[in-house]
Amino acid sequence: MHKDIATPIRTKAILEKYGFSFKKSLGQNFLIDTNILRNIVEHAELSENSAAIEIGPGIGALTEQLAKRCKKVVAFEIDQRLLPILADTLEPYPNTHIIHQDVLKADVAKVIEEELAGISDIMVVANLPYYVTTPIILKLLEENLPIRGIVVMLQKEVADRISAKPGTKDYGSLSIAIQYYTAAETVMIVPKTVFMPQPNVDSAVIRLTKRESPLVPVISEDFLFTVTRASFAQRRKTILNNLTSQLPGGKEKKEQILQALSLAEIEPGRRGESLSIPEFARLSDALYPYFH
């Protein structure tokens, strides 16, 4: 039996052995609680025929727990100082493969094709660096990768925004962009005390299960997200005001925007946060001919 990486004592020993210091710019916070890591892995519902893609493995604490559960783990690590540490800590797990690359610049589909060929059940499981959480999740969803879903730890407030329902203060264009592609649920809250160094905020683990097809069909997904971002530009403003001030040429097209709202059966005096995703889909399709 190998000693778990994710204990305070083992983590300190590994960092001291390599003289490793945390880089604030990379948002490095390592988990030092094995039970929480096992819980995260539980929520991913992996079997010995599954594969996991990890982002930001750090010193391999979560990687190790994933490797014990599934067939193969591929992890993207941007910090080259961690590569020798990972080679050492993950030596007992030949089913792990570390790719030294920024996941935001990586061709993830190609990596899946080359590294995970023949594995049909693939989950992304990660303790994400807080400063790039949203772009990473959106990239994974927009590229329509052959994954079942995503289980990630992130800032609790971002988790709240991702899983928010219409009519709540957390609901916004991020909730819509992610719920359009997935069913989102917060599965656990994680206190800041289980990290080294301790972050300033509590964390949450969110599970995103990919939909067979997006929630509602639209003429253009890009335009749908343009409309939702415009609608939340100033939360206190009505949908009509936001659209006229935010859409390109909107001020000159106020009449057309009013027609589109009428066609989509949406009162111009409503606020963006009151619209459901199907309502936004109707609205963006009604607006589309006027802006293309």
Confidence at 1, pLDDT banded by 50, 70, 90: low
Residues 279 and 181 in one domain: no
**Per-residue pLDDT tens digits for 77-127:** 998 989 999 999 999 999 999 999 999 999 999 999 999 999 999 999 999
Residue 7 has what pLDDT?
Answer: 83
Q: Is residue 2 part of a domain?
A: no
Residues 195 and 82 in one domain: yes
Residues 177 and 125 in one domain: yes
* CATH code of the domain covering residue 181: 3.40.50.150
Residues 156 and 250 in one domain: no
Residues 152 and 271 in one domain: no
Confidence at 272, pLDDT banded by 50, 70, 90: very high
Number of structural domains, the chain? 2
Residues 229 and 185 in one domain: no
Which of 149, 179, 210 finishes a domain? Answer: 210
Binding residue positions: 29, 31, 56, 77, 102, 127
Contact call for residues 239 and 270 (beta carbons, < 8 A)? yes
- Average pLDDT (251-257) is 95
Binding residue positions for S-adenosyl-L-methionine: 29, 31, 56, 77, 102, 127
Q: Which residue range(s) make up the domain with 259?
A: 221-291
- Average pLDDT (246-260) is 95
Strand, coil or helix: what is 271?
strand
Poorest-pLDDT segment among 16-25, 32-41, 203-212: 16-25
* Helix ranges (DSSP H) in the chain: 8-17, 34-43, 61-69, 83-89, 108-115, 133-142, 156-162, 173-181, 221-231, 239-246, 254-263, 277-291
Provide the 10 A C-beta neighbour count for residue 171: 23
Alpha carbons within 13 angstroms on the beta-carbon side of residue 29 total: 24
Residue 199 has what pLDDT?
Answer: 79
**Per-residue pLDDT tens digits for 188-203:** 999 888 887 787 888 9
Residues 151 and 247 in one domain: no
Confidence at 44, pLDDT banded by 50, 70, 90: very high
